[in-house]
Structure 1
Amino acid sequence: MRSSGESIASPLVRGVLAAVVSLGTAIAVTVIPALAAQVAGTRSAATALDAIIIGLNVLVLGHGGGITLSTGVIDGTVTLTPLGLMALFVLVSALGMRRVGYVLGLVEHDAGLRPRALGDAGAALGAYTVVYAIGVAALAALGRSVDAAPMIVPAFLSGALVAVVGGLLGVLRSLSRRPTDSSPGVRVLGLLPAPFDAVARAVLLALAGLVAVGALAVTGQLLWGIKGAAALFEQLGPGIVGGIVLTLLQLALLPLLMVWALVILLGGTVTMGTGTAFSLQGVETGLMPALPILAALPEPGPAPEWAIALMLVPLAPVVLGAVRLVRDVEHLDLRDRVTAWVAYPLVLMVVILLLAGLSTGGIGDGRLAHLGPQMGTLLMPLLLLTVGGTGAVLAFMATALIPWTQKAVTSLRSRVESAEEKERAERTGAGDPAPAQEDGEVHEDAPDPVEREEPAQAQDPVEVPAEELNPPADR
């Protein structure tokens, strides 16, 4: 059995080591492509040190921090976060802390948490977060140059946020176990108390559907405008290595465009600089960055009248999550059901607003000072879709409306069938006269006609002698 000091030191040390490994991975992800672009750029006067500084600046932006530029072309603060790069850093943190959770052995063979499991996990996650955030701030300080100056305090806070979110996901993932013959399985959402486990499942289902909606919208638009994007790519002429770096940059921005597309389908407005706006009412374009992926965006002009009906597309995942929620909590008492019904649309709204807020930023102090969703235009449509969609599902599934409707339909059908049987009985009653027959019409209920006697057939003539027919005259 480990001593008290060892039980405390081991999680701290493992958290620190995991943070160092994660930081090294993050540096490799950003610095190596920058060095490759510098080596391939024959016309560029940038040195390897400049490429490393650029990579560190990209690392700070990928964590959600800000950079102050004074290049003459772009002057001001850059705060636009490439969500794809941020998602990659969160994944790196999750993988690092998942390994720590496995090594600490937080779950015993009987699928229960071992003693001091929560304390060890919290200590490891705390050490990981502190070291990771300090490392990001230190890299931001190292990335300062004459033209670019990463902001250290925002870099520390954003690094801590990425470490907490990714590390917590990794620890939770390490708790899951598949069932075996000797021990039961453990599901992460099953560790939450009711009804919040059902709310989490419903929210995750709705978010997966909404992300799929945004991805399909962006994919369809890129396929529609692929000619324009290819023409701009050829015009830039980045070369082989430069083309790879440019492609990686656009892949990092692709999740950002997915969130923007989702905001538009939810009824909000997305701006890409002064005089540029995208919404279901139409498109206004102005000056935009020279990225091939942006050349595939819709042409300016008013949207067709039926475009507002596209809001029904993101409504479908919201309704699907609400249906799952109602079915999962139907066995709980009324208080827990009401808690789940209220929590689902609120949590879903908060998560969507956080995603929209993370996708908002700017490049410099000029025309590109504001990029991303206009939060004021998103709030009311989002409230209508989430609360209205959940309320509609509750009205049909969680109230007596459906049983009452089924009972009313059954009662109406019974009355109709009874009336039909009564009418048939009256028609076939014993004392009722037969209905009059029309010419040429035969009724089944009419009595059989009286059989008529057929005339006797003519008998064969009897031969009579001629003498009897012609008696002789009197003599």
Structure 2
Amino acid sequence: MNSSGQSIASPLVRGVLAAVITLGTAVALTVIPALAAQVAGTRSSATALDAILIGLNVLVLGHGGGITLSTGVIDGTVTLTPLGLMALLMLVCAIAMRRVGHVLELVDVETGLRPRALGDAGSALGSYTVVYAIGVGVLAALGRSGDASPMIVPAVISGALVALVGGLTGVLWSLARRPTATHPGVRVLDLLPMPFDAVARAVLLAMTGLVGVGALAATGQLLFGIRSAGALFDELGPGIVGGIVLVLLQLALLPLLMVWALVILLGGTVTMGTGTAYSLAGVESGVMPALPMLAALPQPGEAPGWAVLLMALPLIPLVLGAVRLVRDTRHLQRRDRVIAWVAYPLVTTVAVLLLAGLATGGIGDGRLLHLGPRMGTLLLPLLLLTVGATAAVLAIMATPLIPWVRASVASLRERVETAEQKERAEKGATAEQDSVQTQGATADAETGEDVETVGDTGTVEAEETVEVAETGASTDEAPEQPVEIPEDEVSRPADR
């Protein structure tokens, strides 16, 4: 009986203790900077109690809740969530529940999940979420004052969501084990059934890349306008401690700018007050709050025509996620592959829309009533990018397109080589025929010259023969003349 009670109470108690410790850490993260700002603010009339109340109000905003202000400067509801603070609070929750998971020893090195591991983890996570949500509601009630009134019900709901998401992440984190020489490692996503583990890996890869693209774009813009931001910071003159608090505030708001930059790159429009619009088509800006990081934003005007090409930046992680999905599901059956192919763009689209929704809010009832992405302008281009990237990757990697293209290229290359060989053969035959004809013509020419030489010789000989004949004929035709002998030559021998 005692053992059973201890086994039931242990996860519940550990979840409650983890929630209390997490709440204390969260209060310290917001109240201590507020107290530091109050001490450093020499021109401020706020007391330490006011600083604590401000810290509690910021804590409610960090969980995604809302507060109602009536300060005269800002009147109305503030619902803009500092995503940096929310991410930090989720990290604290994850670390706390990871420790609980390790203490409960949910995973055995040799056998894997121990018996009742999931039940103990669920009990600890449930008690953690309930206590944490109630604690956030209590802190919201304690943070009420004449100028600010946190909304309790939204604070409880948002606190429960932060505790649930962060705590579940911590529990899954505690299940992971690194591989050793004797035991294989345990991956958290491998615990999901197929093909959803492949979808989770692909979506995680795509979302990480998209957040990285937004961070890169926001950081680049801040660096580009750092002179304007520095000038406004010097004009405010917050001092050392006040400057540190101002920097921490901007760091808490920096993830908002990252998400807004991502929305713009995805083809959506971001509003930073009434009459303002930031998109790839251009900037319509107005009077902005005196925050140094906002001074680094682009100036009003139309964007160049090539700005639309920037949509290729978020397309890269979407393609990489689709490639990872196709490779991880290649060995599965067709039904599972189709489920994964359909789930990937839908889950990615929903995740981006949730992230953009968290980055949407308002400050008061004035010009800053609407801040963040216009969801209507984001949905269509986001669907086109996610579905288009997935379809393109599937057309290339999951269909016979690549083998067909390779076969077509090989066939075309073979035909070209055959045609070239045939052409070379024809050229060789033509060249050989021309060579033979040339040699024949040369031989005929040489034979003609010999004949002509012989003919000329015969002609000369014939002419000489004719001349001799003519000479003989002329000799025969001439009459013989009598030879006269002198008388002295006839009678001279007698004298001797």
Q: Same fold (TM over 0.5)?
A: yes
Report the alpha carbon displacement of residue 180 of structure 1 after superposing the two structures with TM.
1.4
Matched, 1:183 2:183: yes
RMSD of aligned residue pairs (Cα, Å): 2.3
Cα pair 1:79 1:363 within 8 Å, conserved:
yes
Identity of aligned residues (%): 77
Give distance in 2, aligned partners of 1:52 and 1:404.
69
Shift of 1:4: 2.1
The answer to whether the aligner puts 1:55 opposite 2:58 as a matched pair is no
**Partner deviation per Cα, 1:259-313 (whole Å, 9 max, x = no partner):** 0000000000000111111001110111221100000000001111111111111
Indicate the residue corresponding to 1:253 in structure 2. 253
Q: Tell me the equivalent position of 2:107.
A: 107
Distance 1:428 1:371, change over 3 A: closer
TM-aligned CA deviation for residue 411 of structure 1:
1.5
Deviation string 1:431-470 (CA, Å, 9 cap, x unpaired) is: x89332599x99xxx99xx9xxxxxxxxxxxxxxxxxxxx
- Contact 1:57-1:140 at 8 Å conserved across structures: yes
Q: Could you tell me whether the CA contact under 8 Å between 1:345 and 1:390 is conserved in 2?
A: yes
- 1:223 is aligned to 223
Q: Which residue number corresponds to residue 280 of structure 2? A: 280
Q: In the TM superposition, what whole-angstrom CA distance separates every residue of 1:24-52 from its partner, at most 9, and x where no partner exists? A: 00000000000111111111111110000
CA offsets, 1:44-77, max 9 Å, x none?
1111100000000000000000000001111100
Q: Return closer, same or farther for 1:366/1:76 CA change in 2, 3 Å cut-off.
A: same
Secondary structure of the residue aligned to 2:267 is coil
- Deviation for aligned residue 1:410: 1.2
1:225-240 equivalent positions in 2, closer than 5 A: 225-240=225-240
1:2 to partner: Cα distance: 8.2
Structure 2 counterpart of 1:43: 43
Q: Could you list the runs of 5+ residues in structure 1 that have no partner in the other structure?
A: 451-475
Provide the rounded CA distance (Å) in 2 between the counterparts of 1:426 and 1:260: 67
Asked whether the 8 Å contact 1:97–1:167 carries over to 2, the reply is yes
Letter in 1 for 2:227: K
Q: Distance in 2 between matches of 1:276 and 1:148?
A: 27
- Aligned position for 1:406: 406
User: Is the 1:276–1:287 Cα contact (8 Å) retained in structure 2?
Assistant: no
Change in Cα spacing, 1:234 to 1:438, as seen in structure 2 (3 Å) is farther
Query: Counterpart of 2:107 in 1: which secondary structure?
Result: coil
Question: How many angstroms apart in 1 are the aligned matches of 2:66 and 2:422?
Answer: 83
Q: 1:33 to 1:421 in 2, by over 3 A?
A: same
Q: Which residue of 2 aligns with 1:134?
A: 134
Stretches of structure 2 lacking an aligned partner (at least 5 in a row)? 447-496
SS in 1 for 2:108: coil
The one-letter code of the counterpart of 1:220 is G
Match for residue 125 of structure 1?
A: 125
> SS at the partner of 1:258?
helix
| CA pair 371-438 structure 1, distance change in 2 beyond 3 A | farther
Q: What is the 5 A alignment of 1:27-426?
A: 27-110=27-110, 112-424=112-424
Separation of aligned partners in 1, 2:270 and 2:436: 77
Distance 1:414 1:77, change over 3 A: same
Letter in 2 for 1:359: A
Deviation at 1:416, TM superposition (A): 2.7
Q: 1:421 Cα deviation (Å)?
A: 3.7
Structure 2 equivalent of residue 458 of structure 1: none
Q: CA deviation at 1:8?
A: 1.0
1:417/1:153 CA distance change after superposition, 3 Å? same
Q: What is the CA–CA distance in structure 2 between the aligned matches of 1:438 and 1:381, rounded to whole Å? A: 71
SS in 2 for 1:3: helix
Q: State which of 420, 427, 432 in structure 2 corresponds to 1:434.
A: 432
Separation in 2 of the partners of 1:433 and 1:355?
A: 74
Taking the aligned partners of 1:185 and 1:46, their CA distance within structure 2 comes to: 54
